[in-house]
A and B are shown apart, each in its own frame.
Chain A
């Protein structure tokens, strides 16, 4: 999860990002942010996500678990 948070911190300035932090509600990530982050997650973590994954896995924690399951 820390690796995912490090990537997210390249896109938003949030005081604190935790497992419960929501991509849309708390971080306000746009569609463009999501597409760029998908690229960076693929490069850094070796997992190819789809934009729809950010709808299904709404929080940082949920997404981190999903990324881990795909490794």
Chain B
């Protein structure tokens, strides 16, 4: 705890920033304010009435309950960045009336609004609007600062707003309290001096520095490692990071029925949904890389276990290498169980900072590797379904969560599997760096991923080798670019 004097003479209790916040701050420095890596732009809309006055009141109440919606930052000579919580928000919640333009035009405009630079020091970080759209849709638009919130905390905050709103308009129960941010932060800050930190460092050193070298597996049909091996035949890592983080977005859907089949299969076989989706992803990477058995990708871990972590806002994401070596003789189900074991080990050691992970990774890489040489072409996260209770049928049926991607990606391809608000079906959001242009490749990649997932769901005892054959890239697909 530090007593920080602000430019206006006020003294506040401030704290250093956590490891995930340090990572985001470093990205801001690396890419600059204009690169939008710190923008979270999202919306939640439904077809039906919205009492704008009550919604505004509900949003303000929810901000009062969520400390990191009232977070501010201050530069500091010792700590670089300090954070503090203000007791009240100064946010003005305005209404945007887009009912006069088409939904498509409205969303383009709303996306533009979320692309304005997010502020940093001594000021409100976030902005929320009430939105009126065409065709009877209404909702909320969020432009949030990623150093203070992430996708999970944004969803919990949205849920809180809606539960408060429904309490006032329908008389349903007022939501249970959110949790204070500072105790969760103090636990994070204490981590660096804890036994767990030492245990995590040892685990990752043993996992990364003492095992065989992984191999890069690409999501592009024109495999970049193959290209680099023309010059460096023994290379197993790849140099794929372009200078520009400019990113595009593609969303691929599974139907609600397909999603339910996956869930039913997981329930019946006692499998983790996240591990099952990871299995589909690594199978697609395997197919794209001559049925390579040794596949790695970056797993993004949310790190929210207990309620204090789930309901205290903030940013808690961290990245870890997820490596699996799966024989074609293994069944889909057995492979998921293997992945689940790796996943659970990662979960047990997931607080180590990203930069420290990178350093441990590089200790074991060949001396020719550059700082951003990698074995991982893809980052992956799964966001479980979040249900907003007490919505009426029409609202629940028409509700839609929209992600306005900030147009900047810190990694070449980031796949988020999450659920559509309107029917719970899975959608796979591919946020990809535009250079080189992967848009054709991604449609093929998702086709392969989907086929692998549905084949394994239909018959979990099917051998991985058979799934690789059935999901293989066709000549037409390979030549269609």
A residues neighboring B (CB under 8 Å) = 10-13, 24-25, 28, 30-37, 39-40, 51-52, 55-56
Contact = CB atoms under 8 A, between A and B. Distances in A.
Interface stretch (B58-66, B81-89, B110-118, B303-311): B303-311
B75 interface: no
Interface in B266-304: 267, 270, 272, 274-275, 301-304
A31 B344 contact: yes
B305 A36 contact: yes
Contacts of B304: 32
B176 A35 contact: no
A59 to B, nearest CB: 14
A36 to B, nearest CB: 3
Contacts of B344: 31, 34-35, 51
Contact of A11 (B275, B306, B340, B384): B306
A39 B306 CA distance: 11
Contacts of A30: 272, 274, 384
B305 A31 contact: no
B306 A31 contact: no
B355 interface: no
Contact of B307 (A12, A32, A55): A12
Contact of B347 (A10, A13, A25, A31): A31
Nearest to A52: B270
A13 B307 contact: yes
A32 B309 CA distance: 12
A11 B274 contact: no
B174 to A, nearest CB: 13
B343 interface: yes
A22 to B, nearest CB: 10
B435 interface: no
B266 to A, nearest CB: 9
B127 to A, nearest CB: 29
A29 to B, nearest CB: 10
Contact of A31 (B275, B303, B307, B308): B275
25 contacts: A10-B306, A10-B307, A11-B306, A11-B307, A13-B307, A24-B267, A28-B384, A30-B272, A30-B274, A31-B275, A31-B340, A31-B343, A31-B347, A32-B301, A32-B302, A32-B303, A32-B347, A34-B344, A35-B305, A35-B347, A36-B305, A36-B306, A39-B348, A40-B306, A56-B270
A49 to B, nearest CB: 12
A9 to B, nearest CB: 8
